[in-house]
Amino acid sequence: MDARNIGLRNIEVADTKICSIDADNGKLIYRGYDILDLVNHSTFEETAYLLLFGELPNKEELLDFSSRVQEARNLPESIVNNLKNHPKRSRPMDVLQSCVAELADYDLNIEDDSKEYNIQRAIVLIAKIPAIVAAWNRIRNGQQVINALDNDSHATNFLYMLNGTKPTQDESKVFDICLILHAEHSFNASTFAAREIASTRAHMYASISGAVGALSGELHGGANIQVMKMLLEIGNPDNVERWVTNRLQHRGRIMGMGHAVYKTKDPRAEVLSRLSRSISTRKNNQWFDITEKVENATKKYMHENKNQGIYPNVDLYSASLYYSMGFPMDLNTPIFAIARIAGWASHVIEEKFAQAAPKPALYRPQAVYVGRYCGPMGCEYTPIQNRITPV
């Protein structure tokens, strides 16, 4: 098998109108719009609308969309009660995955797979995933679950439901930008998982539950947790160069550096770097300084050893940013899901309704068999009593 194609790398599996990545020039495009323009001028609600519907909304459309999200935010009482029954040690991503699957039970039109109802399901998931994450964090800490505020932004509501106090305008804006940056990224592992499940004609909740499961792995959504563990281990800016050098000399990996797609700096990392610097300065901590030194020390080592260029990805600076904002480390990945649900749902809808093939074309990749070969007739079965026990 061609090593370049392992993990389906460089294999084109579907068309999409949702997202484009310019790997050579470090550009990320949502539905034709540069991510940096959206960060500077848009909101998460407007960006989510763009991803779902393909166009930016007018004022009336955005107001209607935001109202539909607002109306769907609060959780059914039975889901809250189920959350209370989870062991307090349960991992937030496991809790989130089970709750997403459970939401199917509350969909009175679950048998209707029309585009209209799939868009409504997307709105429900955009609204309820933040509520689930906030509710679980409060429940596991012995606190009361808080319902959403009326007529406030998506970012503001999550921070309020999580912490119990209304965030400042600056805090809401920073988090809103983070949501925009993480909302979509083409055919990454979790998005492909969602589309593959949708191709079987499974419903939206099953597809998104699978995406949450894929995101939970440390090589995908869990990567920024590993970054923060690295920063905590380093502990001080003065320790960075020695730590990075030792790690790379022993063929270790620097989490948050390098990307499977980008050949230059991830444009999201540029924005997150600025946000991390701002929050670190405001909080008077050293996490941004350590992170920046990790980036520079890694680049220096790679250059001195004549290795190809390496650049920070979205996880490097989001780790120090979220830590400085006071988020528990194990909420980093669920927060990723709070944003990425907009992209996941858009891909599920595209998979169901916009493919060139009639209806979904079931994904069925081929594997190269490299197992035992006993000849064209196969291996001869030996009864268990005649098998020789290996020494």
What positions carry a catalytic annotation?
A: 259, 315
Instruction: Compute the distance between CA of residue 320 and CA of residue 240 in angstroms, rounded to an integer.
Output: 15
158 contacts 338 by C-beta, under 8 angstroms: yes
Give which of 283, 77, 107 is closest to 206, Cα–Cα.
Answer: 107
Instruction: Compute the distance between CA of residue 115 and CA of residue 46 in angstroms, rounded to an integer.
Output: 20
CA distances to 139, 330, 339 from 336, rounded to whole Å, are: 20, 11, 5
Check residue 142 and give left, alpha or beta (phi > 0: left; psi -120 to 50: alpha): left
- As beta bridge partners, residue 27 has 22
Buried b / exposed e over 34-53, threshold 16 CB at 10 Å, is: ebeebbeebbbbbbbbbbbe
Instruction: Compute the distance between CA of residue 257 and CA of residue 288 in angstroms, rounded to an integer.
Output: 15
The three-class DSSP label of residue 20 is: strand
138 contacts 105 by C-beta, under 8 angstroms: no
